[in-house]
Amino acid sequence: MSENSPGVQAYIKRGTAFSSAEAALRSKMRQKKFDTIAVHGLYGMEAALANQGSIIEPAYLSPAQHFENSDHMEAALAYLMPAWAYTRIANPGLHYLEQALALLEGYGFAGETSACMTSSGMAAVFMATNPFLTQEGSNTVMNIVASAKCYGGTFMLFNQRYAKERGIELRWVRDPLDLNEWADKIDNNTRFVFGEMPSNPGLGVFDIAALAALAHQHGLPLIVDSTIATPALMRPLQHGADIVVHSVSKCLAASGFAIAGAIVSRRDIPSRVGPAELRADFASYVKLLPMRDHGSSLSPFSALMILNDLRSLRSRVDLMSKNALKVAEFLAQHPQIESVNYPGLSASPGHEIAAKYLWLADGEDDYGSAVNRFGHLLSFNVKGGVRAARAVFDGLGMIWRATDLGRIKSVAAIPAISTHQQQGEEGRELSNIPDNMIRLSIGAEHPKDIIEDLEQALAGVEKSTVVSV
């Protein structure tokens, strides 16, 4: 390695100047409002002039970067200067998306944040957890402590891939609101604490600050899947969490043009294992090392699609949340409905904790004072069991039947036969997902039309019940 050669040194100097300019712009952007950050991110005038003056972030679809000479190549590939080298490792468009997301998750948080885009939400959950599962030192069985109220893919990753295939002990927390349950499960062999908030599809919540404090007492990182909330409503790093994961495929990219994931972390996280770099800057560590080798990078074209959606995140989430509350209130009083899961309903068991954490960013600028918003996702159980639930689902005339959520268009799914099918009956019982549950992701249509569609679907079941009686 000719790190000390004058040629390589010149490139290191050039890289340092680039990083310093970005750091200065980052400090400036951190003073801006949420919407301004979402629109501009870290793509400023200097970056535009280096990209033919394009006022929109570049989408370089080329897999690789041409280097000026061997010194340039060496400095870039040894990570001695910022570069993109090869799109599996880095790419300009991905860089601007990562910077924008890091700024948004860090909105209102005093510390620095960094982000790493991944090819899907599941790739993000995997890459955010796998680095803590290294076999180090003794042969004692390591364990992970996670909320059972989580997305079916996460359930399968932990239960099947980690526990059954790799022998890692999995300690599910049934009621994430119960701090004692978390505390009872953590011990000297725990590697991380994981929770999804609000959870898909049960809308479970937990006290992030209290759980972070508990994890930190044990020297462990708290990882939060914040997909359903998005940074427009909740920013877990601000409350003590160490790592946030997103299925960017959802509300962050509501138009539905990309599957993607993201890991966002704060600096200097606790961990019982791993190198110093892992603790110092987890998301950058994952990006430059484990993910380089695992290879789950995002397409630069998808990055551009996502950046486009990200710009209007806050107002979209506000509208979808307001619509969702109206739909939840309608369902809660409907005689055909057994129960509704929506943290915005005051009768919801998690309402108080949800109201502590879910606030519309800069809501006071729009509404005169800060406002709670509870997100676009809800679920409900239909009276009459599976048959009735299927009949309501099949009767929908505008709301899409699909395994999707966070979309600008309303979408419904029956988790037991779709997103949470693989985890089996026992797993669904653990996660509290009955067969008659319908998950509903509310879009930006007028709420009157969404309610009308539900009303006619429910009326169809009422009629068929009368006929069959």
Tell me the closest approach of the beta carbon of residue 248 to ligand PLP, in angstroms. 7
Residues near 259 by beta carbon (within 8 Å), at least 6 away in sequence: 119, 120, 121, 249, 302
Tell me the closest approach of the beta carbon of residue 147 to ligand PLP, in angstroms. 11
Tell me the closest approach of the beta carbon of residue 209 to ligand PLP, in angstroms. 21
Q: In the complex with ligand PLP, which residue's Cβ is closer, 81 or 116?
A: 116
Phi, psi of 268 (to 5 degrees): 55, 60
Q: In the complex with ligand PLP, which residue's Cβ is closer, 249 or 372?
A: 249
Tell me the closest approach of the beta carbon of residue 302 to ligand PLP, in angstroms. 11
Amino acid identity for residue 165 in this structure = E
Tell me the closest approach of the beta carbon of residue 2 to ligand PLP, in angstroms. 42
Tell me the closest approach of the beta carbon of residue 196 to ligand PLP, in angstroms. 5
CA distances to 57, 136, 191, 220 from 186, in Å: 44, 19, 9, 9
Positions touching ligand PLP (CB under 6 A) are 120-122, 125, 151, 153-154, 196, 200, 225, 227-228, 247, 249, 259, 261
Q: In the complex with ligand PLP, which residue's Cβ is closer, 84 or 151?
A: 151
Q: How far is CA 335 from the centre of its chain?
A: 34
What is the arrangement of strands in the sheet containing 190-196, beginning at the earlier edge strand?
113-118, 261-266, 243-247, 222-225, 190-196, 143-147, 169-173
CA angle 201, 321, 212 (to 5 degrees): 60
CB 42 within 8 A of CB 50: no
Q: In the complex with ligand PLP, which residue's Cβ is closer, 47 or 223?
A: 223
ω into residue 198 within 30 of 0, thus cis? yes
ω into residue 201 within 30 of 0, thus cis? yes
Closest residue to ligand PLP: CB criterion: 121
Q: In the complex with ligand PLP, which residue's Cβ is closer, 41 or 121?
A: 121
Q: In the complex with ligand PLP, which residue's Cβ is closer, 76 or 248?
A: 248
Q: In the complex with ligand PLP, which residue's Cβ is closer, 154 or 410?
A: 154
What letters, b where the CB count within 10 A reaches 16 and e where it falls short, cover 106-122?
bbeeeebbbbbbbbbbb
Tell me the closest approach of the beta carbon of residue 329 to ligand PLP, in angstroms. 24
